[in-house]
Every structure is written in C-alpha cells, then in structure tokens.
A = this chain, B = another copy of it.
C-alpha cells in the first residue's frame, strides 16, 4: 500500500542511526559521564519512523542534491525530536515512548531534564559542524531555519501546556489548527522539507512553497496521531492508548465532540478531562472513546486528515511539476507515497 514509503523510511533509518551513533559521545574516563552518554543515546536509538530526516533527505534528492550533504542536518532533526520528546514526556507525565518506559519514568525527572538539555546542545553542535562540508553560507542558512523552527516549537508547546494548565475548553478548530501548526507542522514537515530543498539547491521562492504544503501535511500527521492515540494498537503505536485523554490533550476529535454532543455530555466530558492524571478511571476513558465514536468525531478527524493530505499532495505536484530528472521523479513518487503513509499509518 505504501511500500515505497516504508522502504525509504527503512533506508533512512539505517543511515541516520549509523551517523547518530557515530556522532554522539560514547566513552569517557569518568564512569558517571559515560553513564550520561548512555542515557543520551537512549531516545535517539529507540525504533522510530524517522519521518523528519526522511523528508529532509528526500527533498535534497528532489532538488538535485546528494543526500549525503544533508545527512548531518537530518540527524539534527532527529536530535531535535529526541530532546523535545524527553521534555514533552515529562511535561505530559507520559508513561511509554516507543514501546518502553519514558526516560523520566526510569531515571527520574531531574536526570531526564538534563539528558534532554544535553541532546539539545548536541543538535546545535552537529549543525555548526556542517560548516566543514557545506561552508559558511549554507551552514548559516540551515542554522537560521533551525532558529525559526525551535522558536515556533516552544511557542506551540506553551499553548498546548497552557490549555491543560488553565482548563481551557472554549476552543475552536481554528485554535487547534494554530497550535498544531506551531507545535507539529513546522518541525515535522515544513522545516525538514525546506532544509532538504535548501541543501539540494532550491531557490528561496521554492522553499516558501513548503510552508503551505507542510502546514497541511503536518496537521494531517498530528490528527492521525490523535486518532491512533484513541484507536491504535499499543504494541504497534508505542504509546499508551488513551494517553491523550489521560494527559488532558485538546485534540481535533475532542473539539469536534464537544461541539456536537449534548450540554449534559459536554459537562461530564470536561469534568473527566480536567481530572488530574491518575484520577481518571478506565471507565472515564472508555466513556469518552465511546462518545467520540457515537458522534462520529473520530471519523470526522480521519476525514479532515485525508483532505489536508490531499491538498498537500496536489499543491506539491502542481508547484514542483518542473522537477523532472530521474532522481527527482523517483523522489516525487516516494513523497506521494509518504503522504499516504502519514494518514494511514498505524504507528
């Protein structure tokens, strides 16, 4: 169904992991510091989709560049993902990540915050090292992309955390969209594509086309994530099913449900969602899941994801019709297939 995408992700995974493991420090004369290095290797080497580095390498190829020029930048995207996830898992009091306990669950919050900070530093380190192979100008352009990106991600994260902290429920689909663009779309789609295209040799105007494409695709990705979090299979998905409800997350499904259910149901819903983590019962979670099915909120979300992904696909085909050599054509086929993967994936 999306074998082309899976093959490309698999190939990216091997290349990115090899470079990641090569880049991160492993040995030190002080055993405590060596242990720190082992903790830093944990999240980056847990099995992941490697979607972000794949988009980066793929777009590099589509614009005529050699993927190896983009490998360190792709690794930086994976390091970004790692430190964000470690901190995000603490902020959300999550339990599982990629099928095993979150870092803070195993080593405590203090050590885990610091491991995240260590990986954050390593992200900038590998980006700065780009200078050796890519020269000053391109390295600075890549750094600027990461500056823009990281500013947006922390802002998006703040919005989402504030909604939970302040028990905010008067949210529209537009609010969800804005949060999602800041929190997910930039770092999952827009910037990875822009970076690959930039390194591949795209022009500034071409880079900007990825804002709209990546916005639609990134929000589609997040919606599918919200769906899997409710109806996925834990072993495949890698996080605890219903975790978003536990964590009080404002998903598109929930926003749709609150808009369509009765007032009494609405009240019960927000009452459950506002309970602190640990106080929500299995029945509470089951109740919300059933209501979401009853009111078609899950189907609605899936439909939205599909239509956003279609928009992204059409815009991409239209905007980059001129990329016609064999490497570009191959990359474009993989990208089309990746879009399908994004909205139909199970993990």
Residues on A lying within 8 angstroms of B by beta carbon are 28, 30, 32-33, 35-36, 39, 83, 87, 90-92, 107-111, 113-115, 117-118, 120-122, 124-125, 128, 131, 136, 140, 143-144, 147, 150-151, 154-155, 157-159, 161-162, 164-165, 178
Contact = CB atoms under 8 A, between A and B. Distances in A.
A211 B91 CA distance: 37
Contact of A124 (B114, B147, B154): B147
A158 B154 CA distance: 24
Given A120-B120, A131-B140, A87 B114 contact: yes
Contact of A111 (B117, B131, B161): B161
Nearest to A111: B161
Given A158-B36, A159-B32, A162-B32, A110 B128 contact: no
A92 B109 CA distance: 10
B120 A91 contact: no
11 contacts: A32-B162, A33-B155, A36-B159, A90-B109, A91-B114, A110-B164, A110-B165, A111-B161, A118-B155, A124-B147, A128-B147
Nearest to A110: B91
A87 B113 contact: yes
A162 B35 contact: yes
A260 B32 CA distance: 26
Contacts of A35: 158, 162
Contacts of A165: 107-108, 110-111
Contacts of A157: 114, 117
Nearest to A122: B151
Given A87-B113, A113-B90, A158-B114, A121 B147 contact: yes
B111 A159 contact: no
